Amino acid sequence: MKNLDQENKRQTGEQMYKLAKTLFPIARSITGAGARKTLQLIKRKIPIKISEVPTGTKVFDWNIPKEWNIWDAYIKNSKGQKILDFKKSNLHILNYSIPVNRKIGLTELKKHLHTLPDHPDWIPYLTSYYKEDWGFCLSHNQYKKLKNEIYQVFIDSELENGNLTYGELYLRGKSRDEVLISTYICHPSLANDNLSGIILTAFLAARLSRQARTYYSYRFLFIPETIGAIAWLSLNEEKSKNIKHGLTVTCVGDSGQPTYKKSRQGDAPIDKAVEKVLAESGQPYKIISFSPADGSDERQFSSPGFNFAVGSLMRTPYSRYAEYHTSADNLSFIGPAYLADSLDKYLKTIFILENNMKYANLNPKGEPQLGRRGLYRILGSQKKITLNEEAIFWVLNFSDSKNDLLDISLRSGLKFEDVKNAAYALLEKDLLAKI
Amino acid sequence: MKNLDQENKRQTGEQMYKLAKTLFPIARSITGAGARKTLQLIKRKIPIKISEVPTGTKVFDWNIPKEWNIWDAYIKNSKGQKILDFKKSNLHILNYSIPVNRKIGLTELKKHLHTLPDHPDWIPYLTSYYKEDWGFCLSHNQYKKLKNEIYQVFIDSELENGNLTYGELYLRGKSRDEVLISTYICHPSLANDNLSGIILTAFLAARLSRQARTYYSYRFLFIPETIGAIAWLSLNEEKSKNIKHGLTVTCVGDSGQPTYKKSRQGDAPIDKAVEKVLAESGQPYKIISFSPADGSDERQFSSPGFNFAVGSLMRTPYSRYAEYHTSADNLSFIGPAYLADSLDKYLKTIFILENNMKYANLNPKGEPQLGRRGLYRILGSQKKITLNEEAIFWVLNFSDSKNDLLDISLRSGLKFEDVKNAAYALLEKDLLAKI
Amino acid sequence: MKNLDQENKRQTGEQMYKLAKTLFPIARSITGAGARKTLQLIKRKIPIKISEVPTGTKVFDWNIPKEWNIWDAYIKNSKGQKILDFKKSNLHILNYSIPVNRKIGLTELKKHLHTLPDHPDWIPYLTSYYKEDWGFCLSHNQYKKLKNEIYQVFIDSELENGNLTYGELYLRGKSRDEVLISTYICHPSLANDNLSGIILTAFLAARLSRQARTYYSYRFLFIPETIGAIAWLSLNEEKSKNIKHGLTVTCVGDSGQPTYKKSRQGDAPIDKAVEKVLAESGQPYKIISFSPADGSDERQFSSPGFNFAVGSLMRTPYSRYAEYHTSADNLSFIGPAYLADSLDKYLKTIFILENNMKYANLNPKGEPQLGRRGLYRILGSQKKITLNEEAIFWVLNFSDSKNDLLDISLRSGLKFEDVKNAAYALLEKDLLAKI
């Protein structure tokens, strides 16, 4: 579980990217066949349970919306030529568009067209989940070429009572205390936001499934953003009380710096753990404060009625890169090495959470004699003490029932793993006891 | 109450400066006709209650001193020419000088003369409240010209049992909790210190009197410095317990940077409110720590037996400008725009205090669905959310019974007014309740 | 007790250095004649009690080791010439070497030789307390010249049951609460580490012995490092509970910047006191965090079973100077002025501890009238208030049962002594009472 060595990292990155290529073309939305098909493909890799929540179900302040499905959509010009085709890019359709089959003039058409004048080659991604509407998205360059003629607009979609679909994998650990790893599955062909999150979560879950039993229980959620998180919380309120630490997984495949958005608390163990992983990486990184106004489902998990300690470990956050929610967030925007590097940081974070125990020094009065236990050099000299010896002294002195190993590693500036190894060496010599 | 718009600011500044010109010539002291006349003129503007405390009244560790009045004072040379005349500047007289009418030589005279060698054109301002003495203040240049001859010194003053006079205006709000606004009226012809404070306090009180009923009750004090504050506290000890926030008003008319001296607590709501106002102003400003050794009556209100949260919002503080306590602190040292700008900051601070409520999110589990309530855009897009939407998310997430709106504005970095408007919008939709 | 004036400082420095010269040549170790002789010489200056702890005594997790004594040691080459002689430098012998008298070849000899290739002229200092071994230390230049011949190695030492010896001086103050001053006596001819510590501790104790009765009781320990501290704690566990503040004394004679290693708590009164002394010195200085992995006996006193507030006020810390634990840490590495300057800082720290009382303002409501008590200038003027007046206002305002004088001096930025003098002036006028 600990981390990916170099070779493993390269291979894993390739496998992650391969799965991304498979899932990329699917026309996902917050409900419907796209999400369902995505979950079926994930299920080939890890044994998720797929749940369906019927349209109209009351989930806190919300109601599960109608299920949306789409098979085809296009605009034809007066010559009958398809000038815009959903099959070429599922971003062309305003997500949740109702069925349409009409002939209309350019002026009328334009009311339903969306472009990005600042990025004239890109197609924007837009949705209209909660107001019935239809529309097309296209590049601004294409938009400018449209002539004043009669167009046929055709959207073969369905917006009917149905279900919201989500996937869940629960791995029971020694403790009922849970680590929540949540990602969203509702975006169509957008690679970083958030195919990368789906891929990382699936690979992380697969790896934890193959592990010996963990200390914590782990819950992996593959849900539509916002409504899915609210639905899950509403339907699993009792269960949710076990969540002790959490991360939402989004934007983990691009080349940008690792960025951690802290939990609402700001100094929860998950915050300290991720920050320690980032500090130890030697790479540049960013820490940003919690905001309820910007972000993903940590907003729901951190709503004041729950207030779970859920952060988000990303690379470049949504809305801080221009390609966000456009056709430029495609498979070339993400890369195998970045996916694997992000996965590695999640694994290292979990390694810290799993090993972050609190111990009691069983010889708390003065230092124990380490030399006769083989834990300290025999020859007193002017040489610097070793890293192991240093870690041993720190663990002994601060294993006072107040500090856990993460606290000790943060205070000493030593790597978490060195501190943990020192604790294990001391445990073996009966100098420590688990609290 | 909120603030002064641009035009209003210009007009108000002119009116403030006009009142300053009226009050400037009066020969004020800690007791006597000058203070009394000043209060009478203030009373034309706002309905203050004027109180008299008899000489000898015990007020905590102090006794109310004798009342001092002065009508004339001069020095004549041997030719009978007035070389120094109280009627030209009331700073010429050592404040609280006893009556004198004597002929004396230069050597003897010099024992009673006070000058400022570093600023040879300025007349210093000096007092001798608690030791009977007499003296004259003059420019060092004039002093150097004095010849060795016989002078007539004449001081037509009176130091007898009488009263200490102060003014007070109490505006009853919805709550008995009070905001104290205190200024001192004991300085003669000195403009920034502290005619500016008297003017600002009077205008602030006038404006609040015209408002709809406020949440807090407001108490405005026009008192002689130190002895007046001690007298008021001693005579109103029970009442004083309602003081929740306070500001002393001094040095608010000069061109310097707004400067806030924090309360003794350092992180009281009044401190956060003023600091927020200053931060939002976009102007440079200074925050200084509380000191009991330098300052005005916040020292008395913050004495350990009271420990009220009283700060002081000034421009250039006393003793940080060379003109302080000299004839150079005159009407040209202050200006209408600075007076109005200071008043504006007091109004904005009060706006924050008045609106700084604590609310409870009535849908604390997950976000409520804002879209159907018209509080969130319908079309999901890559566009940045609006300021209103941002503020709404912050208010919802942090209205958890711990944070008030000021806390939320500080944590989010949003303007207090935006946060307040978001709260009002949510209140209207029954998504918040006042705690 | 307060501090050393300039002349006194020069003289005291000379006296300290003279004692250092006397003690330098002694071949000390953690047990045996060297330590005993050192303590006898200290006893001529201050009435320490010398204790002996028998070999084998169980002290917490440790046992008192055998006693080691050495009279002579050398290496002779095949011509019978002494090429290395313990009598020339006691660092030549691996400390705790067992007796040897053998003829051996170069290859065999080299297994027992220790050098410092990076500093080819210096002899390293090495020990083997807890594993029976023998060896010689020499300069790397000498080592390189050794020829392939037969050598006679001779060590006239003894490692037998005996005692561990330590010295202790207890000065009873008004309170049983103790200040612990601890230094270690186990190093042979090494000047800064730690002859300087022995000298400073002896002079400090001598000076405190001559004082009027102190508030705190003071305990001075002259012990072998680590095992001595553990032995003392084990044999005096009940007594040790009186320790309220402590300092370990090491590396106080070199020319480097004063450096303070904070206590485990990091913000204990001893930390604030030393940091105040350093800040007031006007000299550059360093503050370093507590580490249990590097340092002296503060590690034992701060073990979690005791957790005493013990810091260490040094100049250049052990292991931060190249000469550490080598023959270059000799009498020319330390100097009279540095010894005296360090002593002065210890005295000033103790001055703060002794005078750091908490007072109650007996006139807590408003300021008392200072003028009539001669504590404030009579003539109100534009002049800055004096330092005394400033300190008086700070002491009055913050003598509220929460703050002690050290807190007040830290918050005001005033010198501790000025704050203390203000408190005494107020006490005299019955404006304060000791809490």
pTM of the model: 0.93
- Share above pLDDT 70 across residues of chain A, in percent, rounded to a whole number: 98
Q: Which helix (H) or strand (E) holds A289?
A: none
- The C-alpha angle A278, A284, A289, rounded to 5 degrees, equals 65
Residue type, B215: Y
| A384 band by pLDDT with thresholds 50, 70 and 90 | low
Give the tens place of pLDDT for each residue, C295-318: 999 999 999 999 999 999 999 999
Whether C292 sits inside 8 A of A379 (CB atoms) is no
Residue type, C60: F
How many Cβ atoms are within 10 Å of C347's Cβ, its own excluded?
18
Three-class SS state of C7: helix
Query: Which of B116, B128, B319 is closest, CB to CB, to C384?
Result: B319
Shortest Cα distance, chain B CAs vs residue C430, angstroms: 12
Whether A293 sits inside 8 A of B389 (CB atoms) is yes
Residues of C in Cβ contact (< 8 Å) with B129: 380
Q: Which helix (H) or strand (E) holds B76?
A: strand B67-76
pLDDT averaged over chain C? 96
Above 60 in pLDDT, residue B275? yes
pLDDT averaged over chain A? 96
Q: What confidence score (pLDDT) does residue A388 get?
A: 87
Give Cα B32 distance to the centre of its chain. Answer: 21
Using alpha carbons, list the distances in angstroms from residue B381 to A95, A153, A298: 11, 22, 20
| A11 band by pLDDT with thresholds 50, 70 and 90 | very high
Q: Are B368 and B431 contacting, i.e. CB atoms less than 8 angstroms apart?
A: yes
Estimate the crossing angle of helix B416-428 against helix B405-412, to 10 degrees: 120
Give the tens place of pLDDT for each residue, B33-47: 999 999 999 999 999
Whether A230 sits inside 8 A of B397 (CB atoms) is no
| Closest residue on chain B to C394 (Cα) | B292
Sheet of B286-288: strand order equals B49-54, B163-171, B217-223, B178-184, B243-249, B310-314, B259-261, B286-288
How many Cβ atoms are within 10 Å of C434's Cβ, its own excluded?
9
How many Cβ atoms are within 10 Å of C163's Cβ, its own excluded?
18
Residues of C in Cβ contact (< 8 Å) with B294: 385, 390
Q: What confidence score (pLDDT) does residue B380 get?
A: 65
Give DSSP secondary structure letters for B181-228.
EEEE---SS-IIIIIHHHHHHHHHHHHHHHSSPPSSEEEEEEE-TTHH
Q: Are B86 and B73 contacting, i.e. CB atoms less than 8 angstroms apart?
A: yes
Give the tens place of pLDDT for each residue, B361-414: 999 999 999 988 988 876 665 556 777 889 999 999 999 989 999 999 999 999
| Closest residue on chain B to C399 (Cα) | B304
Above 80 in pLDDT, residue A265? yes
Residue type, B18: K
Above 60 in pLDDT, residue B102? yes
- Share above pLDDT 90 across residues of chain A, in percent, rounded to a whole number: 93
Q: Which chains touch A (3 or more CB pairs under 8 A)?
A: B, C
Give the tens place of pLDDT for each residue, A115-155: 999 999 999 999 999 899 999 999 999 999 999 999 999 99
Q: Are C185 and C224 contacting, i.e. CB atoms less than 8 angstroms apart?
A: yes
Using alpha carbons, list the distances in angstroms from residue C378 to A370, A377, B18, B132, C374: 69, 71, 35, 10, 8
Residue B426, class by beta-carbon neighbours within 10 Å (0-12 exposed, 13-18 middle, 19+ buried)? buried
Q: What confidence score (pLDDT) does residue B6 get?
A: 80
pLDDT averaged over chain B? 96
Q: What confidence score (pLDDT) does residue C382 get?
A: 52
Above 90 in pLDDT, residue A7? no
Q: Are C55 and C163 contacting, i.e. CB atoms less than 8 angstroms apart?
A: yes
Cα A405 from Cα A353, distance rounded (Å):
10
Above 60 in pLDDT, residue B318? yes
Residue B170, class by beta-carbon neighbours within 10 Å (0-12 exposed, 13-18 middle, 19+ buried)? middle
Range A91-112 average pLDDT: 97
Whether C393 sits inside 8 A of B324 (CB atoms) is no
Which residues does A contribute to its contact with C (CB < 8 Å)?
361, 363-369, 371-372, 378-382, 384-385, 389-391, 393-394, 396-400, 412
Give the tens place of pLDDT for each residue, B110-143: 999 999 999 999 999 999 998 999 999 999 999 9
Q: Where are the beta strands (DSSP E) in C201-267?
A: 217-223, 243-249, 259-261
Give the tens place of pLDDT for each residue, C357-399: 999 999 999 999 998 898 887 666 555 677 788 999 999 999 9
Q: What confidence score (pLDDT) does residue B257 get?
A: 97
Q: What confidence score (pLDDT) does residue C305 get?
A: 97
Q: Which chains touch B (3 or more CB pairs under 8 A)?
A: A, C
Give the tens place of pLDDT for each residue, A155-204: 999 999 999 999 999 999 999 999 999 999 999 999 999 999 999 999 99
Whether B299 sits inside 8 A of C363 (CB atoms) is no
Give the tens place of pLDDT for each residue, B60-76: 999 999 999 999 999 99
Q: Are B64 and B57 contacting, i.e. CB atoms less than 8 angstroms apart?
A: yes
Provide φ and ψ at A349, rounded to 5°. -65, -45
Q: Give alpha helix (H) positions in A269-384.
A: 269-281, 298-301, 336-355
Q: What confidence score (pLDDT) does residue A47 get?
A: 97
| Closest residue on chain B to A290 (Cα) | B412
Beta-carbon-side half-sphere exposure of residue B410 (alpha carbons within 13 Å):
17
Beta bridge partners of A73: A155
Which residues does C contribute to its contact with A (CB < 8 Å)?
59-62, 95, 114, 116, 124-131, 133, 226, 229-230, 233-234, 237, 264, 291-294, 299-300, 302-307, 319, 324-326
Shortest Cα distance, chain A CAs vs residue B395, angstroms: 9
Beta bridge partners of B182: B221, B248
Low-confidence ranges of chain C (pLDDT < 50): none
Q: What confidence score (pLDDT) does residue A269 get?
A: 98
Whether A393 sits inside 8 A of C126 (CB atoms) is no
Which residue out of C68, C130, C236 would a mutagenesis test of the A interface target, given it has the greatest number of A Cβ atoms within 10 Å?
C130
Beta bridge partners of C179: C218, C245
- Share above pLDDT 90 across residues of chain B, in percent, rounded to a whole number: 93
Above 70 in pLDDT, residue B146? yes
Which residue out of A383, A388, A397, A430 would a mutagenesis test of the C interface target, given it has the greatest number of C Cβ atoms within 10 Å?
A397
Range B187-205 average pLDDT: 98
Estimate the crossing angle of helix B387-398 against helix B405-412, to 10 degrees: 120
Give DSSP secondary structure letters for B305-350.
TT---EEEEESS-TTSSTTTTBTTSSGGGS-HHHHHHHHHHHHHHH
Least Cα distance to B340 among B219, B189, B207 occurs for B207
Whether A398 sits inside 8 A of C302 (CB atoms) is no
Above 80 in pLDDT, residue A33? yes
Collect all residues with Cβ–Cβ distance below 8 Å to C343 and sequence separation of at least 6: C4, C12, C16, C200, C203, C204, C252
Residues of B in Cβ contact (< 8 Å) with C408: none
Whether B397 sits inside 8 A of A304 (CB atoms) is yes
Query: What is the torsional sign of CA A96, A98, A102, A105?
Result: negative
Using alpha carbons, list the distances in angstroms from residue A11 to A4, A42, A192, A341: 10, 19, 20, 12
Above 70 in pLDDT, residue A105? yes
Three-class SS state of C346: helix
Cα B123 from Cα B104, distance rounded (Å):
22
Give the tens place of pLDDT for each residue, A302-347: 999 999 999 999 999 998 999 999 999 999 999 999 999 999 999 9
Estimate the crossing angle of helix C269-281 against helix C405-412, to 10 degrees: 40
| Closest residue on chain C to A380 (Cα) | C127
Provide φ and ψ at B120, rounded to 5°. -65, -15
Q: So what's the ipTM on this one? A: 0.94
Q: What confidence score (pLDDT) does residue C5 get?
A: 80
Collect all residues with Cβ–Cβ distance below 8 Å to A250 and sequence separation of at least 6: A183, A184, A193, A194, A196, A197, A296, A312, A314, A317, A318
